[in-house]
Structure formats: structure tokens, C-alpha cells
Structure 1
């Protein structure tokens, strides 16, 4: 069964979509079957994975409002092991279209739950706001991964995001957990980047990934070519960073699975 990770931060420009694209591609490179869900009306994950978002007959917008099936919406990308539920600007209208719809917070979940066994990982790129689309992502997800840019205002809005995650956990999705924080756009040449990392580590009581994604020109160029960084420039620092992040995600997942199995075994023995 797939592990579903929502990548969220209501602050724009923190590397959220870059992380969604490249984590998905690097997990696929590790022979994991991956579904990337683009639930951001900007559709940048869609185009960043080489799909022309302007020529699509069906997107996640039609899926959410009931005008197409998941099979009609789901696309195979040119990247081995990676499928996509694409998005475009039409998705901006979903917020209004879904007003008054019963159970609107669970629409995405209802479509994704039946296909969870088809994948190892499902990565959801959320919009940079805390709206109905983001809530749908969080009710579908197991965990939320938060990219944080290494800049002065790194912690701005993060408290609100964590509060929202906790609210969703309490009221809509009891299984939702904080996957952790990943630092992006790290510039080792500046004291500021180092200070931000230390500041967040001191003040944030959350899992912080060891992998730090560097500020990298090739990472910025890759989306314009419709390619993830591991295909656009496999030997770049950005590709190395996201490969390391993929490994860390897999290792965390395997460690958690081992722990769950150990607990289940203890419970089973105690019953005997």
C-alpha cells in the first residue's frame, strides 16, 4: 500500500513544487512505483514532468467535480515508474464549484484510496494556501512534508501550517502525521543559511531531514525543459540532494514499517 505524502507550505517560493517533482522522480529512479498528484492550479508539477498542461482533455479539476473518472485523468509520464494526475488553471475554479458539496474535504481521498495498492508512493503537490484543495490533500495523505527556504523569514507562517495540520488530524484525518521539514535553497557561502538551519532546529520540535537541498542553477533550469533534475543534469548538486532525500524518505518508511510490525508481533504474543 502506498505511503501518501502531501508537500505543503502556504508560503510561496520555498521549493515546494521543485521538491514534489524531484522527490517523485528520484523515488521512481529507485524502482518505486510513484503517482504524482498536482493539486495546485498553477500546474507547475504537471509541466515540470513534461506534460503540456494546456492541451489536456481531463485534469484533476474534472476529477474533483465529477466530470471524469480517475482513469481518464491519470497519465503515464515519460519517466519510468511515474504516473501523474495533472492540473492546470481550471483547478482555480474548484474552490467555488465545491461549495455546498457534501463531504467535499474527502473527494480526493475517495478517488485515491482504491488505487493505493498500485503504488509505493503518492506525492501530492499542494497550492501555496490553506484552502479546500490543501485540506483534500491532507485528508488523503498519511504525512505532510514541509519545505523551508533558508532565508530570514523561514519560520513565518510555519506555526499556522502546523496548527492546520493538527486541526485536520483532530477533525478529519486522525492518521495524519508531520513527515518532517526539509531545508531548500541552501547556500553554504552565506552565514544566513547556516543561521536559519540552526534557528529552525532549535525552535521546531519536528522531524528535520538530514538532507539539505542546495541552491542550484540547474534545479531552476530543469522545469523549463519539462524534466526533473535527475534527468536534466544527473551529476548536479541538485540531483544529488534529491536522490539523498529520496533515500531518506525510503529509509524512514522502512523503519516505521519495521516498528509497526514489531508492535503487532508484541501484541500478538501477549494475546497468546
Structure 2
């Protein structure tokens, strides 16, 4: 019988209140028979795991993904070590999932394109369109096109350097919603960096039931309405518990990523 896999959750929220970390933890706990996990507070406490874990999930978070803080180089050194390990290992690999802020940080590190501030914050449950590669990718296969996801960002990856994508073997899996009324480049919303490394600009961990309850609270409703308007709030609440929207994304992307890592780990070693 194989030992349980080790999973590290990298908390990139910088001690700011958030729902994402709880949602990630709840997804991971569904695999308790196969996985033991530990949370590391990367930005607030400079906690960086070692490279002994089998799976890493790096969360979203606030602020600039380009900030030069003490945690940054150790974090990137870890990711480079995991990347190098995967290149050398003929059997067991290290699987990493990057969400939103972490996605921006690693895309900047790999120099896949321009990480730029948005003109305004993108917020809500919005459409995400798959590329041809995305249609057949493990984490997106079978999802409708477009599918819906929680989008919350002040920064974005644009102007992809396709030669760098080719060099790393990376592929673009999805793009943001089509906006016919504005002449702005569509942001890249998901990238597969390798068979084991993948990331999304959106929040696939967002759990619809708790999200609805959270935003129904008056203090949270007030924040959204004051920041984005009543129409945006009503649109989000209309979409949050639609079974054809967020539920599909939540049940597919991160669970598939974890299941795949478990399956790969259980395969017999190459002789």
C-alpha cells in the first residue's frame, strides 16, 4: 500500500481576510484518504516548504505580483527546484497549481508575457473562453465553452511571448471574456506550463454555497455595491448558485488536478 501523498498549501494572502484559502483546504480535505496536507504562510511569515511534497497549491492574494519582498526569491527558488526535479525524474513528479496572484508571479518569472495593472478591477462570476488546447486539457475537458469562474484581479497577463511559451513547452488554455465594445487585449486566464505545472488567473476554488452566504451578509454586500455597483452585485448573486456555472468549475478543475497527481504517484516506477 502506497503512503499518503504530501500536499503543501501555499498561502499568498499576506494575512488579509479571504475565502479562497478555506475553499482550497476544503477541496484538499476531500482527498484525506490519499493526502496529508500542511499550510504555509508565505508572504506574511516567510514560510516556505521544502521540496519533499508531492503536490503544491499556491493561492491567490492581494497586491502587486511584481513586489520584491523577502519571501519572493525563496518562493521562486522552490518553484525552480521543483521544475528542475521534474525534468530529471523519470518517475515520480512534483505537481503544482497556481491561482491568480501566484499565477501572475510565476508567469512573470517564466517571462511568458507582460504582467500589467488593469484599468479597473475585474470582479464577478464571469465567462472564460477555452483555446483549442484548453478544450482537450485535463482540467478543462468537458467544461462548456465559455465556462464561468470567479474573477477578482487588478493585474493581468497580456502580450504573450509565444517563443518563450514554445521554449518552455507551455500552452495557453483559456482567455478572458470577449468584449466587443472595447479595444483592449484579452488577458490570458489559464496556462499549462508543463504536464505537472498548471495555473489559472481566475479562482477555481470558489465554492458556490459558501460564496452566496458570504456575499448575502450586509457588510459584504455593501462593499461590493460601493466598489462595483448594484448591477454587478445582482449579476454575481444571480450566477452564483446556477448549476450550469460555478458548480461545474468548482467540481472540475482543482479536483481533477489533485486526482491526476494521485494517479501518477500510484503508477509503478519505470524500470
Give the TM-score taking structure 2 as reference length.
Answer: 0.39
**Higher relative contact order, structure no. (Cα contacts within 8 Å, ≥ 6 residues apart):** 1
Higher-helix-fraction structure: 1
More strand by share: 2
